[in-house]
Chains A and B, each alone.
Chain A
Amino acid sequence: MTLSDVITTAVASPIPARAGIGLKPDHYLEIIETQPAVGWFEVHAENYMGAGGAPHRYLTKIRETYPLSVHGVGLSIGSDAPLDQIHLARLKSVCDRYEPGLVSEHLAWSTHEGTYLNDLLPVPYTNETLARVCEHINEIQTALGRRILLENPSTYVRFESSDMSEIEFLSAIATRTGCGLLLDVNNVYVSGTNHGYTPDSYIDAFPVEHVGEIHLGGHDEDSDETDARILIDAHASAVADDVWTLYDRAIARSGALPTLIEWDSHIPAWSELFAEAQRADEIIAKQPSDASAA
């Protein structure tokens, strides 16, 4: 079987081109009891890597009704060091257990010499990094037997050594490995503001033909030594109006795509999250249904 066979293999329960919501334990019971009209849910893979107990019980129940997307935060794909094989095996067992419609990870690193640094750290955009990241993605796609989506990062600093743009870098990864891309529109807004480029120009240049999913989330604001704005990808608030506007621009280019509302701390009442998802659904419904994207 070639990789393209793997890519076209139908998954058990595909993620529809609708709004989905990042699943939080705070909302397990309400979701199970009220069966809200949400297109799908996404979970952080690492939260379901324990052996048993409440997380698996509730997710299993929710998975009976809804399509599920699995989003990894701990594989450290951007590390120079080899992938953690034990962690990769854990991700595979989460995928085997829940048969997600999509699996995604980040263009970032988080583990170094045995220490887990608990953040999605930036990589320099060089040929050396590109080769290493592609090796790691090939390894993951082979281990999982499926295509993954790679998310564009939110970043706060740049590297002197970078000699290609983030978009060139992500496009090259998608072309070389056959992986898809996850376009996080809030990350585009955060990184654009932090590095002094217009988020619109990034969206206009993004290779939307590789995009399989969109993320929307909230950010916090701070400033640096020169009083320039710094935006922080905090996922602790509602999606900002500017990010909704940017989403309109992105989805007009890509066509209708599964779109996730992410809210990971200071988690609101279910009704507030659900309202965010409805807002995304209204925007998606205005797009042509035959998306050209992957």
Chain B
Amino acid sequence: MPALRDLQSAFARSLLDPARPIPAAVTSHTARQPKKRFDVYRNNVYFGLIEALAAQFPAIARLLGQEMFVETAKAYIAEHPPTSPLLFRYGETFGDFLAQAKPLEDYPYLGDVARLEWLWMQAYHGADHTPLNPEELGAIPTDRLDGVRFDLHPTMRLLSSPYPIVSIWHTNIVDEEVTPVDLTQGGDDALIMRPALDVEIQRLRPGAMTMLSQLTQGETLGRASALAAENSDEFDIERVLTDLLQSSLITGFAID
């Protein structure tokens, strides 16, 4: 009879559900059914995970305020407890959860802000990679540029939102004083990357998102920028290309 397995199953069930009685196997030298002592474990689990989520999603914590954040985080933890001891990998679905949470339906941008913060944390812990020396890029003959395929930095992530998520994130995390963001200003295409130690979040120019995702898939610069121009009337190839060549995004290239 595997008593240990049964005991741990009962313990885990009671731990995550405060409405359940404490496990029958548990006792203490004072109370026979030491609920307050068992609650120490429940508090440790919940408050440890709430702290972990607050560290992963500081802009969300700030936007919701202490009370609402704790309530929301508790509901998320009960539904989606972590599956890995690596807490920086906890919260991948927090954005989906916020986007669908009934009490938060008046704040539809929260989901995408959380997705942005999730990508920030993954870039923070992502693999290091040295960007290419700009001189090497300068050696590409201009008439061969269309045929270049770029290797982009492994920490690079892209996120497109109908809400101004870069402005919202920036004012809550970077600005000394939070300034109101006009939600009608339109959506943001966000670029997340960590060229060296610090994670950078930038708002992309129109069409740049299409171009970068095509480049990520191995398309040539010529083909990627043609698709970007098809998708966006405002696509300005010169400025987007200048941004790309001056960024630390490029780690290597090949010419067809």
- Majority-rule SS of B interface residues: helix
A179 and B124 alpha carbons, distance in the complex (Å): 35
Listed in ascending order, the chain A residues whose CB lies under 8 Å from chain B are: 46, 49-57, 73-76, 79-81, 84, 87, 90, 109-119, 121, 123-124, 126, 128-129, 132, 156-161, 194-196, 222-226, 228, 230, 232, 265
Report the bound CA distance from A265 to B28 in whole Å: 28
Is the beta-carbon distance between A110 and B12 smaller than 8 angstroms? no
A-B contact count (CB 8 A): 151
The size of the chain B interface, using a CB distance under 8 A, is: 47
Which of B41, B88, B128, B197 has a CB less than 8 Å from the CB of A156? Answer: B41
CB atoms of A159 and B28 under 8 A apart: no
Cα A50 to Cα B124 with chains together (Å): 9
A51 cross-chain contacts in B, Cβ below 8 A: 125-128
B15: which A residues are within 8 A, CB to CB? 117, 121
Contacting residues, chain A, for B38 (C-beta < 8 A): 156-157
What are 5 A-B contacts defined by CB distance under 8 Å?
A46-B87, A111-B85, A128-B2, A156-B40, A159-B26
Docked complex Cα distance between A116 and B83 (Å): 5
Shortest Cβ distance from B131 into chain A, in angstroms?
A: 14
How far does the Cβ of B199 sit from chain A's closest Cβ, in whole Å? 8
Kindly list chain B residues whose C-beta atoms are within 8 Å of the C-beta of A230: 36-37, 40
B8 touches A116 (CB 8 A): no
Q: Mark B94-129, 1 if CB is under 8 A from A, else 0.
A: 000000000000000000000000000000111110
Q: Is B45 an interface residue (CB 8 A)?
A: yes
In the docked arrangement, what's the CA distance between A219 and B85, Å? Answer: 23
Report which B residues bind A (CB closer than 8 A): 2-5, 7-9, 11-12, 15-16, 24-31, 34-38, 40-41, 44-45, 48-49, 51-52, 81-88, 124-128, 194, 197
Contact among B3, B26, B83, B85 for A157, CB-based, below 8 A: B26
Given contacts A52-B128, A53-B128, A230-B36, contact A110 B30 (CB under 8 A): no
A226→B124 CA distance, assembly (Å):
47
Contact A224 B30 (CB under 8 A): yes
Interfacial chain B residues near A87, Cβ < 8 Å = 85
Report how far A294 CA is from B88 CA in the complex, Å.
Answer: 35
Given A46-B86, A230-B40, check contact A161 B3 (CB 8 Å): yes
